[in-house]
Amino acid sequence: VAMRVYMDGRLIVSTRQRKVLALDDVVSDLEEGTGPTDCGGWLVDVCDALTDHSSEFIEQLHDKIIDLEDNLLDQQ
């Protein structure tokens, strides 16, 4: 995930080449009126969302590795 961000006290500009699901989560919260109220809060929410999405991917990868290991041990 590559994302570039410019922030000052009142403005946030972000760019990306690919879709970043974590940003969609934060934008959705903002649209619902439950999102962050300042730039610092926005940055924290984006970092939290990125961490959540990464954790889910790592957990799925770990489960696949365990399955492969079990299959390998069953073959022996």
* Residues 16-56 pLDDT 10s: 999 998 999 999 999 999 999 999 999 999 999 999 989 98
Does the pLDDT value for residue 76 go beyond 90? no
**What is the domain extent for residue 26?**
3-75
Residue in the block written with tokens 């946030």: 12
Residue in the block written with tokens 């959540």: 52
Residues near 19 by beta carbon (within 8 Å), at least 6 away in sequence: none
Does the pLDDT value for residue 60 go beyond 80? yes
Count of domains for the chain: 1
CA distance 10 to 70: 53
Contact (Cβ atoms closer than 8 angstroms) between residue 12 and residue 39: yes
Cα–Cα nearest to 8, from 36, 35, 39, 30: 39
